[in-house]
Structure 1
Amino acid sequence: MTITTDKRSTLRPALHFTAEKMWINDPNGLIHHNGQYHLFYQANPYGTTWGNMSWGHATSPDLHNWTEHPIAIPCDDEEEIYSGSIVFDDTNSSGLGDNDAKPLIAIYTSAYKPSSKRSGTQAQSLAYSLDDGTTWKKYTNNPILTRHSAHFRDPKVFRYTGTDDTYWVMVAVEAEQREVVIYKSEDLKHWEYLSNFGPANATGGVWECPDLFPLPMDGDPGRMKWVLTVNLNPGGPNGGSAGQYFVGHFDGVTFTSETTEADDSTDPGQQLQRYDWLDWGRDYYAAVSFNDAPDKRRIMIAWMNNWDYAEAVPTAPWRGQMSLPREVTLATRNGRPHLIQRPAVSDLNPASEPSAAKEGPIVLDSSECQLRAGLQGAGIIDIVLHIQDSGEVGFRIQGPGSEIRIGVRPAEGILFLDRTAARNTNFHPTFPSIDRAPAPTKDGRLQMRVYLDHNSIELFIHDGEITLTDAIFPDSPLTSLTFYALDGSATVDSCITTDTTWGTNGT
């Protein structure tokens, strides 16, 4: 794929996938099949704002280098193609395969247009591919599941194997009721209602894009838990779009959460801090996981944007991008299950790269220290901060006329990312923000990895215990670091910066 050069090309991501030219939002149909990771996604083939919803398509052998393909499932006169998922029907339970090919089955939401006799409703439909996802044919008897509802959408389908039986399971949402609804099927075409979950925990916006999957607790396959993720808009911990998760048990019929919090706070903001968030930033939404990832890994991708300002972000001729793929695991933290997230491309180890530069220790006594980080707007920064007795300690990532400030306030127990001075912030009144997350220190230290891209930052705290993802739009590349401490002393135990020119768009 050739990337078109434009006047805002300095904002095109180097580390994250985006389309060459069009609007994209939710990731859909994530599956690993025949050696390729398939990323489908909501796309507008005709513009850079939301509309004409169709499924775009990209593939990668390694979650690192992506190749964009033509639109996979286009909208038509009667329906737009909303979010959904893909499974490999290896037993041809659907009967849609032939003697030479077993089908990939896409289950997606049909959002019916005024010209349709089903106008104003959403239902689940099916398309299938016999050539490994290159071309798709819509099933003639669509829709395959309807509740005659205006907000029934976003099916995630997987194969469930119980003690005595195996069948397909679908989790979808009644978005405005804040409910996840669960169905089963033997053939992917006929569905039986099983149960529902919710409302629970964060309900400040509609629920969308659910996912349900098992993970071993602390790496022990004898202690399996089930994780239910659900995204909501608005109602996130820092405003607008976000994703939350629940951990519990699924018996093939009902999901039961053991991490639902009682709403016993008179302060709504304080109550939000108690929930389990996939990410604490403002730009991590519609996260879902790959089916059939190798070695039973659970890998998630999200849309890196926020519905508060998504249609106004200053990029062209493209708008919207995906997060880094993240491998998720479950670990015990403070006596309860906690989702750990790490970048899924395991060979990206900055310390071993020849372009890595290491600094430290750096002593800060109510002072500042500037480094030439050697970054050119995209790279990786590994930092260990020894907080000591400082009231606030952190660093600024800087470029001509722009800076991002990331810091810790130990007395408040918070980490923050301040993007208000990122220069290009006036395209929407809700974009300038200081976004906060919990900052659990260990032995008085905070370890973080920063994935800096030309228009985004993803923070991973303590090897993925806490994540925070925010978009940024500086006018010029960010190239240097300035560490600081306020009201006391702190030490930068180590700082490793790695410049990178990854080509995730296949350039």
Structure 2
Amino acid sequence: MALSTNLPALSPAQATDTQQTAPLQGATPQWRPLLHYSPRRNWMNDPNGPFFHKGVYHLFYQYNPVAPEWGNMSWGHATSTDLLHWHEQDVALPFNETKDIFSGTVVVDTHNTSGLGTAENPPLVALHTSVFKKNASREPGVQAQSLAYSLDDGQTWKPYRKDPVLTLSPDSLHFRDPGVFWYAPGGYWVMTTVVANAPVVKLYKSANLTDWTFLSDFGPAGFVRPGMLWEMPSLFPLPLDGNEARQKWVLMLGINPWSIAGGSGSIYFVGSFDGTTFRPEGLPPDGSDPAAYDWLDHGADHYAAIPFSGLPGNSAVTIGWMSNWDYASQVPTSPWKGQMTLPMTMALRTVDGRPQLCLEPDSHYTALVAARPTLSFDGLQLVSEQHLLPDHVHGQVLDIDMNMHMQSADRAGIFVRATADGRIGTGIVYDMKRQLLTVDRSRSGLTDFSARFSHEHIVNMPAPTGDISLHVIIDRNSIEVLSRHGSIVITDLIFPPAGADRVMAFSENGTTEFRNMKITLLDGSQ
């Protein structure tokens, strides 16, 4: 079965138009993602300042230009016209002898409020955290907010004459991660930052992006544990259930450690914002278990999620770092470490009687899937058995859309990136008795590179009638599972052998019918 040519063929989601590199000893091309962006080489973590401008998506990210380990923090840069084919650009904001460059945001200063461009050529403005070094004007380790700008659509960046533009008094070693947006009702810019170890979110406003005035604090919202850091805050509005008259505000944060799956993860709060203060709604009691809070993702590998700015209309798209601080330095990929999640469209929907942030793959991805061959299975009924799907249903990169009707089974689901003998595979399992959805990567391939590479990630998902719908996106080294309108997401890294490319369905202790299962081949496999 040949692949459609309606869309350009995918190559690994990294640069193909920059310098070529010779194969390296110990390289792991079998785990180079096809759908997810990864740098050609070296270390990458949090996404920074993604935005859309003149038909191009720009992605910046924490990057070490000289080694596949954390350090020498700079802003890497990649561009795309479809959020699937990425081209790695030159380092945008490099570290130097006076400071490292931590996370931040880029905005298009359309009305040239900063005065750094012109009405005809408005600037791109990057607000970012500087971490000063011993030979700088500030004490070593001090963190403050700096500014750089571009007048050539992000090709080159100039530091602002005043550095930094925002500090705490006294100076702080944990004041970082500015997120910036235009607040139209007030006619000013708003910045969210964190004092990560407090933990607290601090809000500021500015008319010109260079002079900032304090607005308010948010936190700790009853959710504090020993050693917990809050990072990467983003504040943005979304209509509830598509009704623009029922707009609410979402505050998204990175939590490390103590996330729902252990280590680092992304949490969110829904509430209101009046231009000064964010007020959350429906908070659980202080000291509640992490499961009582709303998590963007219940897997281990989705951190530092951040929205794109400058998108047309009312669209809202987010991207995150697909890794976990528990083991990020030990993941067995070479010559790179780190990759991004698939860009996801965000919507606020009423689920189980309350507003929940829901994710679904961006429209560019759904168009890709629609243009590729799909294999359909309907009415597959299993009775206390495993069933290996036919030989032609195999691939390292797949999209699976499926429904299960559990008539009497205790547990049912599928294994993906599996071997034909079933010894290796990543399980997506629904437990009817416990009403739990689980991704089990205990037999997914290489797992012993870190004792903190957790095996099972579980979310409560009631399905009293036994009907479960799942959307599963499988790449060469990852799995993303979505259910319940995208209000439940589980994202996990996996490191299977290249030959583990089969799909196996199963039903335990009873009958399960697999309905409308559609498997789309995305890697060219027959």
User: Same fold, TM exceeding 0.5?
Assistant: yes
Bigger drift between 100-109 and 392-401 goes to: 392-401
In structure 2, the partner of 1:244 is 267
In structure 1, the partner of 2:114 is 94
Runs ≥4 residues deviating over 6 A: none
> Cα offset for 1:100?
5.1
Distance 1:408 1:223 in 2: 34
Which of 404, 407, 410 in structure 1 is aligned with 2:432? 410
In structure 1, the partner of 2:159 is 138
Distance 2:370 2:132 in 1: 52
Q: Is the 8 A contact 1:381 1:495 kept in 2?
A: yes
> Cα offset for 1:375?
2.9
In structure 2, the partner of 1:151 is 174
In structure 1, the partner of 2:349 is 331
In structure 1, the partner of 2:248 is 225
Which of 316, 328, 337 in structure 1 is aligned with 2:334? 316
In structure 2, the partner of 1:455 is 477
Distance 1:420 1:73 in 2: 39
Bigger drift between 326-335 and 369-378 goes to: 369-378
Distance 1:201 1:487 in 2: 42
In percent, how many aligned pairs have the same letter? 41
Q: Residues 501, 191 of structure 1: CA spacing in aligned structure 2 closer, same or farther, 3 A cutoff?
A: same
1:208 corresponds to which letter in structure 2?
A: E
In structure 2, the partner of 1:282 is 300
Which of 382, 387, 396 in structure 1 is aligned with 2:406? 387
Q: Is the 8 A contact 2:62 2:103 kept in 1?
A: yes
Show structure 1 runs of 5+ residues with no match.
266-270, 503-507
Q: Residues 349, 358 of structure 1: CA spacing in aligned structure 2 closer, same or farther, 3 A cutoff?
A: farther
Which of 141, 144, 152 in structure 2 is aligned with 1:123? 144
CA offset digits 1:21-40 (Å, max 9, x no partner): 11111000111111111101
Show structure 2 runs of 5+ residues with no match.
1-14
Distance 1:349 1:494 in 2: 19
Q: Residues 392, 497 of structure 1: CA spacing in aligned structure 2 closer, same or farther, 3 A cutoff?
A: same
Q: How do residues 158-169 of structure 1 correspond to structure 2 at under 5 angstroms? A: 158-162=181-185, 165-169=186-190
> Cα offset for 1:476?
1.7
Q: Residues 476, 501 of structure 1: CA spacing in aligned structure 2 closer, same or farther, 3 A cutoff?
A: closer
Q: Is the 8 A contact 1:438 1:466 kept in 2?
A: no
Aligned-partner SS, 1:86: strand
Distance 1:469 1:347 in 2: 17
Distance 2:33 2:222 in 1: 34
Bigger drift between 184-193 and 57-66 goes to: 57-66
> Cα offset for 1:196?
0.6
Distance 1:405 1:51 in 2: 35
Which of 187, 195, 218 in structure 2 is aligned with 1:197? 218
> Cα offset for 1:354?
4.8
Aligned-partner SS, 1:498: strand
> Cα offset for 1:387?
1.6
> Cα offset for 1:369?
1.2
CA offset digits 1:354-377 (Å, max 9, x no partner): 521111211122111110362321
Q: Is the 8 A contact 1:350 1:497 kept in 2?
A: no
Which of 381, 385, 396 in structure 2 is aligned with 1:377? 396
TM-score by length of 1: 0.94
Bigger drift between 353-362 and 422-431 goes to: 353-362
Q: How do residues 454-493 of structure 1 correspond to structure 2 at under 5 angstroms? A: 454-493=476-515
> Cα offset for 1:113?
1.6
CA offset digits 1:266-316 (Å, max 9, x no partner): xxxxx2211100000000000000111122211000000000000110111
In the alignment, does 2:84 pair up with 1:61? no
In structure 2, the partner of 1:8 is 28
Q: Is the 8 A contact 2:395 2:501 kept in 1?
A: yes
In structure 2, the partner of 1:360 is 378
TM-score by length of 2: 0.91
Q: Is the 8 A contact 1:15 1:453 kept in 2?
A: yes
Distance 1:489 1:335 in 2: 31
> Cα offset for 1:347?
5.6
> Cα offset for 1:345?
2.6
In structure 2, the partner of 1:505 is none
In structure 2, the partner of 1:273 is 291
Aligned-partner SS, 1:463: helix
In structure 2, the partner of 1:499 is 521
